Amino acid sequence: MARSGRGIDNGQDRERSGVSRRAVLIGSGSAALTGAVTWLVTSRYYEARPHKTVAAVLVEATPTPPPVARATEPPSPALVPAQRPLGLTVYEYQPVLIGNINDLELDVPVQFSYPRAAETAVLVRVGRASSGGIGAAGDVVAFSNICTHMGCPLGTIYSPEHKLLGPCLCHFTTFDLTNRGIVVIGQATEDLPQIQLELEDSTGDIYATGVMGLVYGHRSNLDALGAVE
Options 51, 162, 171, 218, the catalytic residue: 171
Does 218 participate in catalysis according to the annotation?
no
| Residue closest to 126 by CA, chosen among 135, 117, 113 | 135
Are the beta carbons of 212 and 165 closer than 8 angstroms? no
Using only C-alpha atoms, the chain has a radius of gyration, in whole angstroms, of 47
Query: DSSP secondary-structure letter at 102?
Result: G
CA 39 vs CA 28, 42, 45, 141, 193: distances in Å: 16, 5, 10, 90, 88
Does 171 participate in catalysis according to the annotation?
yes
Question: What whole-number distance in Å separates Cα of residue 70 and Cα of residue 60?
Answer: 26
Are the beta carbons of 116 and 220 closer than 8 angstroms? no
Are the beta carbons of 128 and 139 closer than 8 angstroms? yes
Options 51, 149, 162, 218, the catalytic residue: 149
Catalytic machinery residues: 149, 171
